[in-house]
Chain A
């Protein structure tokens, strides 16, 4: 395995192997000296064409803990802003010695293009491409669910994903991975943001959040609402919150055994209430912590094998 651009590239065993490795590496992260020599001498480039703090920092910490050299490039400070093509930028980074390029890009497919168009030999890791995929997010979510329910795969568990599914790369990667690991996936949100066609990826669709929650899902995954999109494409914040927020009423109706997740950053008071975010059933910070372990596992899997 050389690249990770889509969950589709992982079969069940490969996904579980990454999750198992992430669990092992999590123990390193709990130690006082959180460092392994695995990727010493290798350079990992974070190439971010979109703003992101948490994903970039998570990859940076992951690479650093594996002793890789890390370079961060964002579109504001590089020749990317001067209109250099994706191909030229990637080839330049490779010429500078990048063993892996972690790429976030506003265009769906950009990571897969870097991996497969024959432009570069570096390993490509998709850190989010347009509204297509965000595979390491899905892996860290699966790692979190495995921990929360003490299971190996996710058979028998049900996960409801709520919000703007149509523009969400987190949702797509999660639907694919949760299915691979045996979970049942429900999707819920405003009709115009949850296309019927999405059920073809392996999800049951609800147009009413309360109806979806009535099935007593094991995990409720709230997606971030992009406010800039809201104004032009759908309802007011008030209306959205009323229909789709995990508010205190819905929180109280949720089974004790259910868990709440969110890929962050949260809009408290919009898709999720403060009560829900801070509820003991919330696993949101655990997701962030697990993100480092999962990204270490992915870097390890892609880069350590050939050393």
Chain B
């Protein structure tokens, strides 16, 4: 039995929480003594729909264990692992391996299956076999690559509709982004770097939404980055399309001006856009056009970032900053509240990812919790629980600190310390 005393809920209510086994036994006034949590907010454990673990294949950047520790440190109790490992998670065996390999960890790791074999974009992977496997995959994505072939995308959407799954699309028109290095525009011109036009993202989103509408299939737009893309998603939702969208912490708070340094820590795909885009993304997260914050946690070893910009890998780590960025954008800005925070960090990603368990903070629910000190401000350091250090927020001060993370009634992080691995 874990007893947490003097917590605050997202609603502002002050309560104690009793946890019995893996479930919440009481929310209210506990007669038992327990851990004093004065000043801490009790939130449902966070759910990340977009994490890159690098195992199997790229263990020098991240392993399942190091990624899990980073996630627990960031308040996550569930993460969805993208398929671009090596070998690619495009078969029942591969997704079952990950599910099995991670089953003893105090975090739920849900495999995402590849849409196409080897992420090559040529033929569909074994979607049905992955769905029917012990891993029960429902989210499919070629993330890192775009399913650009319209016919394949049509087939994938049709097939996933059969078993209540969805396609999470990395929207990037390949022909318009050959050799692209940063957001297209005046700054790319000045810096002499090949641009990645907003239209290359928006055209794919538009096409996929039309397919989703026609097929009544479910589409999830990964890491949306442009003001134009927000307009398209807003339009699609108004039309009744079954579409959801995510935004990353870095696209919410950072912009292309950082590329002036040519420091590859700021190199990411899709690229950091204009400050104006970041502002529109924040507004869209507040008003619900964008459904969730997803990290696109993409660890890379030092040598892949300590080189010429053009030779550097795309990607940034994100699991340990995301909640702070969401707090900055939703709460510190005064634009929204902790209820919305819970939606974008936990309940909505769980719903999109088809998690069966009830994650809401209620008696009888699974005891997955993130206990956050919202008043703390901390300076971000590159050294985290991830094996990689490509953190674009390093040196910045951000609000909020995850003090404890509880997964199914067990502390995965306690008093700031990760409890496993």
In the complex, how many angstroms separate the beta carbon of A185 from the nearest chain B beta carbon?
Answer: 14
Known: A85-B303, A87-B306. A109 touches B185 (CB 8 A): no
Q: Does B420 contact A (CB under 8 A)?
A: no
Q: Does B37 contact A (CB under 8 A)?
A: no
Partner of B309, one of A85, A87, A113, A200: A113
**By the criterion CB–CB under 8 Å, are B185 and A107 in contact?**
no
Known: A105-B308, A112-B261. A197 touches B191 (CB 8 A): no
Within 8 Å CB of B261, what residues of A? 112, 116
**By the criterion CB–CB under 8 Å, are A109 and B306 in contact?**
no
**By the criterion CB–CB under 8 Å, are A166 and B189 in contact?**
yes
Q: A109-B308, A166-B189 are in contact. List 20 more A-B contacts (CB 8 A).
A: A85-B303, A85-B306, A86-B308, A107-B309, A108-B192, A108-B193, A108-B309, A109-B191, A113-B263, A113-B308, A113-B309, A116-B262, A119-B306, A130-B192, A132-B192, A198-B186, A200-B186, A200-B189, A201-B189, A201-B190
Number of contact residues on B: which range applies?
10 to 19
Q: Does A3 contact B (CB under 8 A)?
A: no
Number of contact residues on A: which range applies?
20 to 34
In the complex, how many angstroms separate the beta carbon of A40 from the nearest chain B beta carbon?
Answer: 34
Known: A116-B261, A195-B189, A200-B190. A108 touches B307 (CB 8 A): no
> What string of 1s and 0s marks CB contacts (under 8 Å) between B236-264 and chain A?
00000000000000000000000001110
- Give B304-329 interface residues, CB cut-off 8 Å to A: 306-311
**A117 CA to B307 CA in the complex, in Å?**
10
In the complex, how many angstroms separate the beta carbon of B306 from the nearest chain A beta carbon?
Answer: 5
> What string of 1s and 0s marks CB contacts (under 8 Å) between B179-219 and chain A?
00000011011111100000000000000000000000000
Ordered nearest first, which 7 A-B pairs have the shortest CB separation?
A: A109-B262, A132-B192, A108-B192, A131-B192, A197-B186, A200-B186, A107-B308
Within 8 Å CB of B308, what residues of A? 86, 105, 107, 109-110, 113
**By the criterion CB–CB under 8 Å, are B190 and A86 in contact?**
no
**By the criterion CB–CB under 8 Å, are B306 and A108 in contact?**
no
- Give A174-204 interface residues, CB cut-off 8 Å to B: 195, 197-198, 200-201
**By the criterion CB–CB under 8 Å, are B307 and A109 in contact?**
no
**A129 CA to B193 CA in the complex, in Å?**
11
In the complex, how many angstroms separate the beta carbon of B57 from the nearest chain A beta carbon?
Answer: 22
**A6 CA to B40 CA in the complex, in Å?**
48
Known: A109-B308, A117-B263. A197 touches B193 (CB 8 A): no
In the complex, how many angstroms separate the beta carbon of B96 from the nearest chain A beta carbon?
Answer: 38
**Interface hub of B193, B308, B309 (most chain A Cβ within 10 A):** B308
**A85 CA to B303 CA in the complex, in Å?**
9
Write 27 A-B pairs (CB below 8 A) sorted by A numbering.
A85-B303, A85-B307, A87-B307, A105-B308, A108-B191, A108-B309, A108-B310, A109-B191, A109-B192, A109-B308, A109-B309, A112-B261, A113-B308, A113-B309, A116-B262, A117-B306, A119-B306, A129-B192, A130-B192, A130-B310, A132-B191, A132-B192, A166-B189, A197-B185, A198-B190, A200-B190, A201-B186
**A228 CA to B173 CA in the complex, in Å?**
27
In the complex, how many angstroms separate the beta carbon of B257 from the nearest chain A beta carbon?
Answer: 13
**A133 CA to B308 CA in the complex, in Å?**
15
Known: A169-B192, A172-B190, A172-B192. A112 touches B303 (CB 8 A): no
Within 8 Å CB of A130, what residues of B? 192, 310
Nearest B residue to A165, CB-CB: B189
- Enumerate chain B interface residues (CB-CB to A < 8 A): 185-186, 188-193, 261-263, 303, 306-311
**A129 CA to B310 CA in the complex, in Å?**
12
Nearest A residue to B305, CB-CB: A117
In the complex, how many angstroms separate the beta carbon of A163 from the nearest chain B beta carbon?
Answer: 15
In the complex, how many angstroms separate the beta carbon of B412 from the nearest chain A beta carbon?
Answer: 35
> What string of 1s and 0s marks CB contacts (under 8 Å) between A149-169 and chain B?
000000000000000001001
**A131 CA to B179 CA in the complex, in Å?**
14
Nearest A residue to B193, CB-CB: A108
**By the criterion CB–CB under 8 Å, are A198 and B189 in contact?**
yes
Nearest B residue to A168, CB-CB: B192
Within 8 Å CB of B189, what residues of A? 166, 195, 197-198, 200-201
**A169 CA to B310 CA in the complex, in Å?**
16
Within 8 Å CB of B262, what residues of A? 108-110, 112-113, 116
**By the criterion CB–CB under 8 Å, are A107 and B311 in contact?**
yes
Within 8 Å CB of B193, what residues of A? 108-109, 132
**Interface hub of B189, B306, B310 (most chain A Cβ within 10 A):** B189
In the complex, how many angstroms separate the beta carbon of A95 from the nearest chain B beta carbon?
Answer: 17
**A18 CA to B306 CA in the complex, in Å?**
32
Within 8 Å CB of B188, what residues of A? 197
**A112 CA to B307 CA in the complex, in Å?**
12
**A133 CA to B311 CA in the complex, in Å?**
19
**A172 CA to B186 CA in the complex, in Å?**
12
In the complex, how many angstroms separate the beta carbon of A179 from the nearest chain B beta carbon?
Answer: 12
**A107 CA to B310 CA in the complex, in Å?**
7
Known: A112-B262, A113-B263, A117-B263. A86 touches B192 (CB 8 A): no
Within 8 Å CB of A195, what residues of B? 189
Nearest A residue to B310, CB-CB: A107
**A119 CA to B306 CA in the complex, in Å?**
9
In the complex, how many angstroms separate the beta carbon of B176 from the nearest chain A beta carbon?
Answer: 15
> What string of 1s and 0s marks CB contacts (under 8 Å) between A118-136 and chain B?
0100000000011111000
**A107 CA to B182 CA in the complex, in Å?**
14
Within 8 Å CB of B190, what residues of A? 172, 198, 200-201
In the complex, how many angstroms separate the beta carbon of B302 from the nearest chain A beta carbon?
Answer: 10
**A261 CA to B268 CA in the complex, in Å?**
40
**A225 CA to B337 CA in the complex, in Å?**
58
